[in-house]
Amino acid sequence: MPSAQRVQVWDPMVRLFHWSLVIAFATAFVTGDENETVHAYAGYAVAALVVFRVIWGFIGTKHARFSDFIYGPGVTLAYLKGLVSGKPAHYLGHNPLGGWMVVALLLSLAATCWTGLEAYAADGKGPLAGATLTVMPQARADEDGKAAGGDEFWEELHESCADFTLLLVLLHLTGVIAASVLHRENLARAMVTGWKDAPPE
């Protein structure tokens, strides 16, 4: 019986991005109410990592590209049915649900960063200070030129985006565990080493 072949799936840039994002998001999340400076710089790091991953999703290695793991509804539904039955199709890179989770996380992280920048700017700080979007009816300029009332709007929206992102992270972890068990492979270790076992042909 042919044995599985070891294949490098995740390139160093993907792995560095992944674990750097874990650290940066965790730091930003736990320092939100404790240390504004650390929270802000961790948020900047998250934003930079998201921008990098979007670019790398178009010019990176095979399994890093969006074209490799974004599937249509038919393939995604078929994978979901296989997952429910306990016999999902095996994918060397991200499976269809994992691919869409990557997209959802990137969008949620981008929204979290943007609303964080707006909240920071409404307080007169950060790169958007003085250019805060005034989409809130209650927002008005005070004597210092800040958007009075806007800071609370953006802060609440920022917290909601962060909480939603955390929910996606928990779903992501659940999916990683489930896929690792069903496919009998250590996906977390693969994101450290970059190597996976390709199923025998």
45-74: pLDDT as tens digits? 999 999 999 999 999 999 999 999 999 999
Report how far residue 132's alpha carbon sits from residue 150's, in angstroms, rounded to the nearest whole number: 9
Structure pTM?
A: 0.87
Which helix (H) or strand (E) segment holds residue 28: the answer is helix 12-30
Are the beta carbons of 64 and 57 closer than 8 angstroms? yes
User: In 10 A of CB 1, how many CB atoms?
Assistant: 3
Give the confidence band of 182 by pLDDT, cuts at 50, 70, 90.
Answer: confident
Give the confidence band of 200 by pLDDT, cuts at 50, 70, 90.
Answer: low
Is the pLDDT reported for residue 167 higher than 80? yes
User: In 10 A of CB 106, how many CB atoms?
Assistant: 18
Give the confidence band of 37 by pLDDT, cuts at 50, 70, 90.
Answer: very high
C-alpha distances (whole Å) from 150 to each of 43, 140, 197 are 20, 8, 51
CA atoms within 13 A on the CB side of 18: 18
Q: What is the pLDDT of residues 93-152, one digit of tens each?
A: 999 999 999 999 999 999 999 999 999 988 888 888 876 454 554 444 444 444 445 678
Report how far residue 110's alpha carbon sits from residue 54's, in angstroms, rounded to the nearest whole number: 11
Strands (E), the chain: 5-8, 140-141, 147-148, 195-198
The arithmetic mean of pLDDT across residues 67-82, rounded, is: 95
